[in-house]
Amino acid sequence: MTATTMSGSPPAVRSASRARGSGGLRRSILAWVFLAPFLAVFVTFTAVPTVAALGFSLTDLRGTDLRHPFAVDVVGLDNYAWLFSDGRFVRDLGNTAVFVAVGVPLTMLTGFALALALNTGIRRLRGVYRTVFFAPVVTNVVAVALIWQYAFNTNGTVNQVAASIGFAGPNWLGDPGLAMPVVILLGVWRNFGTAMVLFLAGLQAVPEDVHEAAALDGAGWWRRLWHITMPLLMPTILLVSVLLTVFYLQVFDEPYLLTDGGPLGSTESVALYTYHQFGFGQFGLSSAASLVILVLVAVVSFAQFRLLRPRT
Amino acid sequence: MTVIAPTQVPPGDARPGDARVRQEARPATRRRRGAQAPLQAALAVAAGFTLLPFVWVVSGSLRSLADIRAAPGAWLPGEVTADNFVRLFQAQGFGTFLMNSIVVAALVVAGNVVAASAAGYALAKFDFAGKRLAFGAVMAALMVPYTATFVPQFVVTMNLGLVDTLAGIAAPSLALPISIFIVRQYASAVPDELLEAARIDGAGEFRIFARIFLPLAGPALATVTIMSFLTSWNNFIWPLVVAQSTSTYTLPVGLAATSQAAPNVTDYGLMLAGAIVVMLPVLVLFLLLQRHFVQGIAATGLR
């Protein structure tokens, strides 16, 4: 993460280019000039909004106040107190926990199983399979959500299959008990390709000769998977789990597009709560809710850094 | 020039522990032929399930309204018709949405190529005061969840007078952190000697950047172009917030609005034709330029 990992050039050249003194200041100014376009966007659309979100969350700012900033009152932590006493927000925290608790392992297992299968030395169609499994990652979510609605409506293609084997299929997205699995399924479909690619990269770094030696010693496939592959793959497993956790903590597109949080709020995530409060003009409350996500994501990201800190 | 083109690798230290994605690395453990048949069968089944939505969208988009009403769950069209696509562009304004998506994507790609090539080069090749700070800013841009900032982003955009404009839709994506990591990683592999030689010849820093680095950076800039295009094309929540009239809708927003305008959506043929228009450009690019997509996404994880 630091400058030490940044250059692969010989020491002599590096020390030459590092020469400070009179050239150092010019060099620094120059570097910041090169960074200026990025910084302009960063300050305007990340730094200022992050600080502003914190400020907004301590006020009763409403959409109608934007033209009259002095009508806004500072309310301290009232928004946060309100959030945690609001049954709807607490329910949405629970829903988000379900997204994480079910979505992360399901996505990981699917991606891991496919990566293992593609890494066993099969040659036929290997490239085709990788393309197919990765295609959902680049597919537009609005488009797929419509396909999901088409397939999972009461008379849709999924229930057509159910009917052909004698079942009357349910109204998947209209049933509070069934909507969540269908929404999560969309998240899994969209993300397992990323997990697969990262696992494939990790698996290719597992030395082959260790496996061969263990196989000679009579270790079976499961034993080698558990005792050789998994431990060596730990950094990748952590990385993927953190990426996916961060994704599902912020899940918005899938529930917004499929159910808009319904039926009966059974699929409303915290991110969707934030969006709905924004729609009601409750900017202060919305900002407070979004900072709850920010904190959760920060905790997970921080844990990632601690766990994955390179040993070098 | 005998510079060995630096091999493109995903910016591993963007996410520590991220192993490199090597395309077609050595075939792993040799397996007995017997194990291959069930494996191939399992993979074929998995691929089939993965592809189901694509089958449904193609088949559904070619069905007439009457056909879908008569047999909503049929897997294949009763009769094939292109009528849905015609209606999409004639009556639903998809021509405008398509143009808007293209304009926004062009702005985003141009912004990223300029901002990321400069910033990535500086982070890789200059030692300067505040470098850690600059690097921290890129990390922060990567890590701060989008959902946490869109309300104040909207207020900022409003104060800039950019609400309901294409520029406002593009603005926050003009310098994506992933683009900077891609260029920085690539620039790190360009030998310093090359730049030093130019310096000794008296070339200025901007000249070195423009005449020596940029001509070498083609592969990195290709990945930046593709990744920022993908991000822009598929972006949904921000355009949804900023675009407030149909004349500024991008394709995903237009598609979502069209489907929500008809609450009891029975006109699935029209919706699925719209879905095809939205997904096709990216899928075609993906099939042609797969390597860049896989590297780019493996570089920063999920979109």
Tell me how far the alpha carbon of residue B38 is from its chain's centroid: 35
Residue A59 pairs with which residues in a beta bridge? A74
Q: Tell me, what's the pLDDT at A69?
A: 60
DSSP letter, residue A59: B
pTM of the model: 0.83
pLDDT at residue A2 tops 50: no
CATH topology of domain A88-278+287-308: MetI-like fold (1.10.3720)
A148 or B20, which is more confident: A148
pLDDT for position B39: 86
Question: Per-residue pLDDT for B20 more than 90?
Answer: no
pLDDT at A19 over 50: no
Q: Does residue A43 register a pLDDT over 50?
A: yes
Among B16, B75, B298, whose Cβ lies nearest the Cβ of A160? B75
Name the amino acid, one letter, at B6: P
- Which residues does A195 contact at the CB level (< 8 Å), separation at least 6? A107, A108, A110, A111, A112, A115, A240, A244
What was the pLDDT predicted at A179?
Answer: 94
Task: Count other Cβ atoms within 10 Å, centred on residue A8.
Answer: 12
What does the pLDDT read at residue A64? 72
Q: Tell me how far apart the alpha carbons of residues B223 and B283 are, in angstroms, rounded to a whole number.
A: 16
Q: Is B299 on the interface with A (CB under 8 A)?
A: no
Residue whose structure tokens are 């907004």: A56
Taking contacts as CB-CB distances below 8 angstroms, the residues of chain B near A114 are 43, 46
The pLDDT value given to residue B3 = 33
Asked if A286 contacts B151 with a C-beta cutoff of 8 angstroms, the reply is yes
Which class for A292: exposed (0-12), middle (13-18), buried (19 or more C-beta within 10 A)?
A: buried
Whether the Cβ atoms of residue B20 and residue B12 lie closer than 8 Å to each other: yes
Q: Considering only CA atoms, which of A166, A134, A171, A137 is closest in space to residue A151?
A: A171
Instruction: Give the separation between CA B142 and CA B184, rounded to whole angstroms.
Output: 15
Task: Say which CATH class B95-300 falls into.
Answer: mainly alpha
What residue ranges do the domains of chain A occupy?
88-278+287-308
Distance CA(A43)–CA(A46), nearest Å, equals 6
In B, residues 33-52, which contact A (CB 8 Å cutoff)? 35-36, 39-40, 42-43, 46-47, 50-52
Of B158, B230, B290, Cβ closest to residue A66:
B158
**Structure confidence by residue, pLDDT tens digits, B68-114:** 877 777 788 878 888 888 888 887 788 999 999 999 999 999 999 99
**Would you kindly state where each structural domain of chain B is located, as residue ranges?**
37-81, 95-300
How far apart are the CA of B259 and the nearest CA of chain A, in angstroms?
Answer: 8
For chain B, what is the mean pLDDT?
A: 82
Angle B136-B138-B141 from CA coordinates, rounded to 5°: 110
Give the separation between CA B54 and CA B276, rounded to whole angstroms. 9
Q: Is the pLDDT of residue A201 over 60?
A: yes
